[in-house]
Structure 1
Amino acid sequence: MFNRIKHNPDAPFTPRTVMLGGKAAPGYHMAKKIIKLFNNLARKINNDIDVGERLKLVFLENYRVTLAEIVIPAADLSEQISTAGTEASGTGNMKFKLNGALTIGTLDGANVEMAEEMGKENMFIFGLKLHEVEELRRQEYNPADYYMCNEELREALEQLKNGTFCPESPGLFEDIANDLMYHD
């Protein structure tokens, strides 16, 4: 969204505020780096003149129950987008749903249970199902192919590599981009 606004600052965009929450275990290096990336993205996006009030990013530090009690009732949308079969999305999204938020996500984790109980028609499910993910992996899935074919994705990953979001340490997020390109 940031890049779309930057490329066409005069186009009409619906203003959005994106809130991300999380925390990392002390030894989880990649999670800590992703949290740093979120904070750097927020700093860049929230202070960009072209973006203005059309996009804001807020990272909720040390996301836990106390903070969730404030955020969940105010949310309009809950995104639960793990790759099917890789990680349960937990019960947080159930709490969002019970408080009226729309759920958009993959058919993974708690989303599976929610779809069974309330019907897929009451959620916005997208992406591959578990058996489709497994089949894609058997076919020697190469995420770099998507990088080569999708200009927006390529630009975003290049920004991670070239220091756009961390000019004081340009290579800091390169391993995140490489993980997405070669492993995810």
Structure 2
Amino acid sequence: MDSILDLMKASLGPGVAALGVAVAAAQWHTNRVKLRLDSYDRRLVVYKATVALLNAMQEEISTRRGPYARLKNGQPSKAYLLLPREVVSNFESGLLEAPFLFDKDVAIFLHYIDRHRTMIHMYANHCSKIDPEAHETHRADFERLKDSEEGVDRARSMVQQRFAPYLRLSRRL
């Protein structure tokens, strides 16, 4: 009986150690999953902010241009319509977080979108002050505005493809 009791006493230490290792491994795994889910949530917020900004920009472009945008109708160009402040603020917040959440290509893509937003604002306001008779002499400015507007369309068509690898829950960190 004493030998069985001695055996149980001797195996108690290693048994507790093995149990401690199992608990530590389970905690490590739980923390990895939590980190992955937290990163996913933050990435999803940046994606949604980017899509919302692109949608607001497309809406602004179509409203400002109107249905006869491609016709030379002798009408003055319309001034830039401000985007909703909350949409811009959410995007700018995502722009700051992007280098920490994504690879360099997504951060560069977001700066590409922001550059087009700034260029459209600048050129739309500039072109709205040009008299219709002087449109031909300022053709380069109108072309730059059009190029930036087309850049928004290109970005809108690529946004899901750029973010897709980062929005899979199975992605390893």
Q: Which has the larger radius of gyration?
A: 2
Which protein has the bigger strand share?
Answer: 1
Q: Structure 2 length normalisation: TM-score?
A: 0.27
Q: Structure 1 length normalisation: TM-score?
A: 0.25
Tell me: higher relative CO, structure 1 or 2? Use CA pairs within 8 A at least 6 residues apart.
2
